[in-house]
Amino acid sequence: MCGVVGIVSQQPVNQSIYDALTVLQHRGQDAAGIVTWGKDGLRQRKSNGLVRDVFRHRHMLQLTGNIGIGHIRYPTAGGSRAAEAQPFYVNSPYGICLGHNGNLTNYDELSAMLTSEDRRHLSTGSDSEVLLNVFAHELQSCANGRPTADQVFEAVEAVHRRCKGGYAVVALIVGIGVVAFRDPNGIRPLVLGERKTERGTDYMVASESVALDVLQFERLRDVKPGETVFIQKDGVLHTREHRGESPHTPCIFEFVYFARPDSILDNLSVYKTRLRMGEQLAGKIVRDFPDHDIDVVIPIPDTSRTSAVQVAHHLGTKYREGFIKNRYIGRTFIMPGQEERAKSVRHKLNAIDLEFRGKNVLLVDDSIVRGTTSRQIIKLAREAGARRVYFASAAPPVRYPNVYGIDMPAAAELIANGRSIEEIQELIGADRLIYQDLHGLVRSVRHDNSDITEFDTSCFSGEYVTGDITDEYLHEIEQRRNDVAKQMREASRTGRSAMDAPDAESSNTAVGM
């Protein structure tokens, strides 16, 4: 999962993009990048690290121009080298920079075709670079000279025909403007907004509406599945809907975990969906555990708070904050490697003993993925003196890999894969484990948008909405992206050349010079 933003404004955009990326930091902690364009040409800064660490005052001064895009990275495909920080850049045609949230499921086929038939060079293992080169090739094929809006639209339609998977994209075409588009199923989110100023109208696209709110942009709407948004450098907005027939199937895990509660995605309030998740979960607890002896409901901060409040309310039990979170530790789910995740839980959370001692505690979390965090947290609760520790998940068991941009590629790393509820309960050390039902989760999220009839629920159901996922593909990505494979790639970095050093490819210079 990553975060993207693009702005075409009547004034410098460097600070606005920085602020937007800061708000979207929860979507990725691995790397950050900004590219701007103006009278000084194309300027970039990107490197590994959090937004606040990548961009210093001297970098911001050099990011001049009224047009720009930004990206924060959470690696799924590719690795964690600074070379794979986004946005990526290609020189031909025009000069194009691109940032991408999601994952291409036909990466191998596309990369082979790009090098053998399209005669394009790839320098990383990132599917975002592949997507950029596909778009650049198609735009070069469509346009003669300065591209028109129709030619941009045709190029994106060609991208949709060639690229499979989930993706939300922002691209800056030098001297032309910003292009944004979303995969035909609308798996990955993208929101469009505008801001009226004395100088004219500014336009912005971002992964979540909260980024628009912070910059005082009015949320116009979600970018539709497969739709292309083209904002010319002079601020003229063009849009075209996708001509295909793919069903709209947004990723349900956005609402479970990734998105901020104050965001609105696909016209659905994330906060309200999580309230209803709590209501549905409370109903499941009453059905499965009617004679419960729960003394207190305690959330696992932060994502599960909204659901936990509703669970406590409907069960008629106390709600308490039993864990204090160190806000200087990142989100454990998106940390690279099981060992790093397990280590960070102890550094991230500390229990308040008086809320646990001698009590039967129900811990509520948004989901259980690998089980690392759950096991550690239950242990913390017992050490704090809890008599019994029950555990409830606001999402169903995560049994299958996610292939559309969430780091769940290895089924063997998912604690629920191939195991019963009782077996998972024993592994995490809970006295009782209760999961949300899938139909209850779907009902919770869909409630306010009847236009959405299905979601991508692949990590819960094993049903992949793009229709191109085979057992062979799942086996291949498991071998390529499991924790052991990632650790081996990371270890190999110690012998990298000077050209691979972070400062060598993340400097504040004009791109392509």
Which residue type occupies 5? Answer: V
Give the Cα separation of 407 and 443 in Å (integer): 25
Helix (H, G, I), strand (E, B) or coil at 148: coil
Locate 130 and state its tokens: 């592949």
Write the CA distances from 338 to 58, 323, 369, 373, 474, integer angstroms.
Answer: 36, 22, 11, 10, 20
Give the Cα separation of 361 and 308 in Å (integer): 12
Sign of CA dihedral 262, 231, 235, 86: positive
Q: Please choose, from the candidates 432, 479, 441, the residue with its C-alpha nearest in 3D space to the C-alpha of residue 460.
A: 441
Q: Residue 502 burial by CB count (10 A; 0-12/13-18/19+): exposed, middle or buried?
A: middle
Give the Cα separation of 232 and 249 in Å (integer): 29
Give the Cα separation of 213 and 216 in Å (integer): 5
Please name the residue that has the structure tokens 């009015």. Answer: 218
Query: Given phi > 0 = left and psi -120 to 50 = alpha, else beta, which region is 240?
Result: beta
Write the CA distances from 319 to 5, 304, 315, 353, 375, integer angstroms.
Answer: 37, 12, 10, 15, 21
* Chain centroid to CA 190: 11
Neighbouring C-alpha atoms within 13 Å toward the C-beta of 357: 3
* Active-site residue flag, 2: yes
- Please, are residues 158 and 168 in contact by the beta-carbon 8 Å criterion? no
Q: Please choose, from the candidates 362, 356, 359, 282, the residue with its C-alpha nearest in 3D space to the C-alpha of residue 314.
A: 282
Residues with catalytic roles: 2
